[in-house]
A and B are shown apart, each in its own frame.
Chain A
């Protein structure tokens, strides 16, 4: 699986949009971009994933560049509860019974400030 590069930490003001970047310059054509977050002392929480089109759900938006070498996770209106470590992971999604591992990097610690 391709590796990702994320900033170690970021700050964001409460109520503002949080934009978390991720570089995955060696991503393969069949690899998806996944985002998870981990609030302190909890298990990771799935946020969103995508292949090449931009995606949006109730939690966030995922913007993937046309060359797929980078992406941005957008939390439109950050709250204090969004303070967490955010992990960007690229992985092949297999259909038909094969296992697929998530390999976590160091992630970005997002601190939402009041």
Chain B
């Protein structure tokens, strides 16, 4: 149990285009999901907290207009990188917290984004 998937696993896009990454909890409902970014040889950096049916909460320094988050259902959150640039190339990881069970988060496998 407690499986989180991400799609796509890998994406290459041209500079200036937008890319959507999906995060799904496959066998549980998640009121809250989190989005992280990880650059090579660095730790995970929390970008935002996504709550079902409400606006996401962004960490300091993360542009909300550039990283659009939608959490329309209890099993799906999406992150859209708008007008992507090469510096947005990174490993994007989501996590999901089971509803009603606040202790543990489960992570997706990550999405590797390369912007050319």
Query: DSSP class of B's interface residues: helix, strand, loop or mixed?
Result: strand
Interface 1/0s, chain B 25-65, versus A by CB < 8 A?
00000011010100000011110010100000100000000
Q: State A74–B49 Cα separation when bound (angstroms).
A: 31
Residues of B within 8 A of A101 (CB): 34, 46, 49
A102 close to B34 (CB less than 8 A): yes
Residue A29 is within 8 A (CB to CB) of chain B in the complex: no
Q: Which of B45, B102, B110 contacts A43 (CB 8 A)?
A: B110
A44 close to B93 (CB less than 8 A): yes
Q: State A38–B107 Cα separation when bound (angstroms).
A: 10
Q: State A26–B44 Cα separation when bound (angstroms).
A: 22
Q: Most chain-B CB neighbours within 10 Å: which of A32, A36, A105?
A: A36
A97 close to B34 (CB less than 8 A): no
Residues of A within 8 A of B108 (CB): 43
Smallest Cβ-Cβ distance to B106: which chain A residue: A46
Given contacts A41-B110, A43-B93, A99-B49, contact A93 B44 (CB under 8 A): no
B43 close to A102 (CB less than 8 A): no
Residues of B within 8 A of A36 (CB): 107
Residues of A within 8 A of B57 (CB): 99
Interface 1/0s, chain A 77-109, versus B by CB < 8 A?
000000000010000011111111111111100
Given contacts A99-B51, A101-B46, A104-B43, contact A43 B104 (CB under 8 A): no
A sample of 13 cross-chain residue pairs with beta-carbon separation below 8 angstroms, ordered by A number, consists of A41-B112, A43-B6, A43-B95, A49-B103, A95-B102, A96-B102, A98-B102, A99-B49, A99-B57, A101-B46, A102-B46, A104-B44, A106-B43
